[in-house]
Structure 1
Amino acid sequence: MQSDLTSRFPLPGASEEPEKGTPASLPSSPISADASDEVPFLRRVPFSSRRRRAVSESHISYLSSHPNLRRSFSREVGHAAAETYLLTRLTLTLLRYLGVGYRWITRFLSLVCYATLLMPGFLQVGYYYFFSSQVRRSIIYGDQPRNRLDLYLPTDNSGSNPAVAFVTGGAWIIGYKAWGSLLGRRLAERGIIVACIDYRNFPQGTISDMVKDASEGISFVCNNISSYGGDPNRIYLMGQSAGAHIAACALVHQAIKECGENDISWSVSQIKAYFGLSGGYNMLNLVDHFNRRGLYRSIFLSIMEGEQSLSHFSPEVIVTNMSGRFDFPPLPPIILYHGMDDCSIPSDASTAFAEALQSKGFQAKVVLFERKTHTDLFLQDPLRGGRDELLEDIVSVIHTGDAAALARDAVASPARRLVPEMILQLARKISPF
């Protein structure tokens, strides 16, 4: 496997609560009813109060005779309500920290319109997230608030499947594990387990807390994925936007830790490759850019624990300041994806990080997408359906050396469109990202 990856990347120069009773280290049980337990569909026809009462009594009787179904439905509704509350609270927190100004108000209105246009797709993905038996939500991986992760399991989970530990984006303020549900669904359809790691956001935590949470989530995946049908020898790390930065920090900091500590819960050698999507890796170069974009300097420096900490949480700077390749253990192959029309984080951020890695002898490459914005690769393109260039590239790396999986990929059906093209184009024009 390593030789296959080396050939692909030549070296240069040569706060939800978990389900009660579910232990953190064991797989949670699927929440689903047998096909024979499905509630009969009731046609919407006018009926008298007597008939309505009879139907209601019949429905109650049906649920009474199927207590597992009743408890499952109540639990799903409870989860949906809890997560809606959490998202509302995150939004209000973002509002409070960004303050009120002309620039911010226009971006906020753009965000509302953008989300409204894409709502048909979000609703379909949300239904899958809450009601699919292939999703295990809110598995505990640590003892801090938000130390939860969601698992997306393939339909055929009988063998040892590769796994991706994914850290979602959200400007370090509104990151949330459910943001990865579309990616999780797509990769699970290709036989890949996805673990979407939640973490404390600002102001609940600062960047060191976020990196610590991500590292503990990665550790959980490395040490427990076999319990969920995953292959512990085929684990990949991925992050998007702020999540790409957090995941890269966790990877580099873990490599440094391995040089001086024996008591470690996971190793960079367990990660087969790192995928960074639309990420920033040099905070010194991005602080002023974010300030112009509305993530004001004072807020950003509070998130990053002060200007003096920017270098410590800049993977590119850490790698650049290395005196030699053997300052810490070899990093896995690093693949960075970026849209060339990304205004939130310029594509130069990925290019510069890859060049820094290559200059120290690490395997790294950049894949740039023309005319793609910050959200095109992660949202609009997957919602569009059909063949997804980014997804296909990630899957091809993960399935390198697996002839059977590659053969299945070659005949895989294109994804179904979730949002009409005209709406996607309009959403792209008004996107605040």
Structure 2
Amino acid sequence: MWDMTRRGLLAPALGALVAACSPLGLLNSLGPRDGGVRRVARDLAYGPLDRQALDIWAPTGATGRPWPVLVFFYGGGWSDGDKALYGWAAQALAARGFLVVVPDYRLVPEVHFPAFIEDGAEATAFTGRIAAQYGGDPARLGVLGHSAGAHLALMIALDRRYMSAAEAPGLIRAAAGLAGPYDFLPLDVPASINAFGRAPDLTLTQPVSFVRPDAPPLWLGHGTADTVVHAEDTTILCERMRAVGGRCEAKLYPDLSHEDLIATFSPLFRRKAPVLDDVVAFFRRTLG
């Protein structure tokens, strides 16, 4: 499923999944930016370790009711990434009426599966506890992510053990994945081998192993030109969710590559495809 040959909107040299994701941080310093939002918390600790911290972005206008809450997980091959590089993505969502949380999480080689999934669950549970302080409604909370972040978001949405261990079962009401790897056995590239190769049961590393009829509704997007994580991951997960009676929407975007899919959240590339509009519409339908 992995191939490293495509160049997309950002035209990075795709040497690995981590290389494919890292140029997205450049969008933090390129304009224009979405207005009507502000960062209301920086480096808020959800755990005792250095990378267990998060930032929060909120709309500036009052609405008369709390905002729905989104927790966004960036990608980076489970070994790279920093919340400080994804303000542009958080702003895009916050400008459309969401309280947006962007956590850091521990990375390979410091940790291996399931530590980064556990961090995602703890960050989400913490968000549920403090969202009201920043104008958010924890009863309307969704998670989303890109690439490795999509894998993380879908793992905590589908495998009940993580949010239960974080003492927040049922908190996640909807989940979205952008260009995510959901069915990638056998492990065949360094990024996945390094992250998951020590797991005693590899099937427990795969979101497709946890499809269930009572899962939160899912929205999955993928570019047809993605050669880092092939679009079949999205179609397989959605088909299996529907087969067991679960709710899942899938959309494939012609000619978009792996990094293009999330890059369209930026005003610079937004007219290339309506990815942001589609994600926002899904969360408005499911979170209210």
Question: Counterpart of 1:182?
Answer: 88
Q: How many Å separate the matches in 2 of 1:339 and 1:387?
A: 12
CA-to-aligned-CA distance 1:6-52 (integer Å, 9 cap, x gap): xxxxxxxxxxxxxxxxxxxxxxxxxxxxxxxxxxxxxxxxxxxxxxx
Change (3 A) 1:195 1:106: closer
Question: Counterpart of 2:9?
Answer: none
Return the offset for 1:133: 4.5
Q: How many Å separate the matches in 1 of 2:23 and 2:249?
A: 32
Q: Give the RMSD, CA atoms, in angstroms.
A: 3.1
Question: Counterpart of 1:391?
Answer: 276
Change (3 A) 1:246 1:307: same
Structural mapping, 1:354-369, within 5 Å = 354-369=238-253
Change (3 A) 1:388 1:134: farther
Question: Counterpart of 1:202?
Answer: 108
Question: Counterpart of 2:255?
Answer: 371
Question: Counterpart of 1:18?
Answer: none
Tell which deviates more after alignment, 132-141 or 349-358.
132-141
SS in 2 for 1:357: helix
Return the offset for 1:306: 2.4
SS in 2 for 1:166: strand
Give the number of the structure whose residues are more often strand, by fraction: 2
Q: 2:168 aligns with which of 266, 291, 298?
A: 266
Return the offset for 1:179: 3.8
Question: Counterpart of 1:313?
Answer: 205
Q: 2:48 aligns with which of 126, 138, 143?
A: 143
Which amino acid in 1 is paired with 2:269? R
Change (3 A) 1:275 1:380: closer
Aligned: 1:282 with 2:187 = no
Structural mapping, 1:207-226, within 5 Å = 207-226=113-132
Question: Counterpart of 2:6?
Answer: none
- Structure 1, unmatched stretches of 5+, are 1-104, 404-433
Return the offset for 1:381: 5.9
Which amino acid in 2 is paired with 1:350? T
Greater RCO, 1 or 2 (C-alpha within 8 Å, sep 6+) = 2
Question: Counterpart of 2:158?
Answer: 252
Return the offset for 1:257: 6.3
SS in 1 for 2:71: strand
Answer yes or no: is the 8 Å Cα contact 1:199–1:214 preserved in 2: yes
Which amino acid in 2 is paired with 1:195? V
Question: Counterpart of 1:24?
Answer: none
Answer yes or no: is the 8 Å Cα contact 2:217–2:286 preserved in 1: no
Question: Counterpart of 1:420?
Answer: none
Return the offset for 1:396: 1.6
Answer yes or no: is the 8 Å Cα contact 1:173–1:202 preserved in 2: yes
Change (3 A) 1:304 1:402: closer
Q: How many Å separate the matches in 1 of 2:195 and 2:205?
A: 11
Return the offset for 1:191: 1.5
- Structure 2, unmatched stretches of 5+, are 1-12
TM-score scaled to structure 1, two decimals?
Answer: 0.56
CA-to-aligned-CA distance 1:57-116 (integer Å, 9 cap, x gap): xxxxxxxxxxxxxxxxxxxxxxxxxxxxxxxxxxxxxxxxxxxxxxxx9849xx69x949
SS in 1 for 2:107: coil
Answer yes or no: is the 8 Å Cα contact 2:264–2:273 preserved in 1: no
Answer yes or no: is the 8 Å Cα contact 1:274–1:332 preserved in 2: yes
Answer yes or no: is the 8 Å Cα contact 1:283–1:310 preserved in 2: no
Q: 1:173 aligns with which of 79, 85, 88?
A: 79
Question: Counterpart of 1:240?
Answer: 146
Question: Counterpart of 2:229?
Answer: 345
SS in 1 for 2:176: strand
Tell which deviates more after alignment, 156-165 or 347-356.
156-165
Return the offset for 1:376: 1.1
SS in 2 for 1:311: helix
Q: How many Å separate the matches in 2 of 1:155 and 1:310?
A: 44
Answer yes or no: is the 8 Å Cα contact 1:154–1:191 preserved in 2: yes
Give the number of the structure whose residues are more often helix, by fraction: 1
Change (3 A) 1:381 1:196: closer
Answer yes or no: is the 8 Å Cα contact 2:121–2:162 preserved in 1: no
Q: How many Å separate the matches in 2 of 1:387 and 1:188?
A: 21
TM-score scaled to structure 2, two decimals?
Answer: 0.82
Q: How many Å separate the matches in 2 of 1:401 and 1:200?
A: 30
Q: How many Å separate the matches in 1 of 2:40 and 2:31?
A: 12
Structural mapping, 1:35-46, within 5 Å = none
Answer yes or no: is the 8 Å Cα contact 1:283–1:311 preserved in 2: no
Q: How many Å separate the matches in 2 of 1:127 and 1:192?
A: 16
Answer yes or no: is the 8 Å Cα contact 1:125–1:182 preserved in 2: no
Answer yes or no: is the 8 Å Cα contact 1:151–1:195 preserved in 2: yes
Q: How many Å separate the matches in 2 of 1:214 and 1:182?
A: 20
Q: 2:61 aligns with which of 130, 149, 156?
A: 156
Structural mapping, 1:294-305, within 5 Å = 296=190, 300-305=192-197
CA-to-aligned-CA distance 1:348-399 (integer Å, 9 cap, x gap): 0111111111111111121110111001121156222458511111222222
Question: Counterpart of 1:332?
Answer: 216
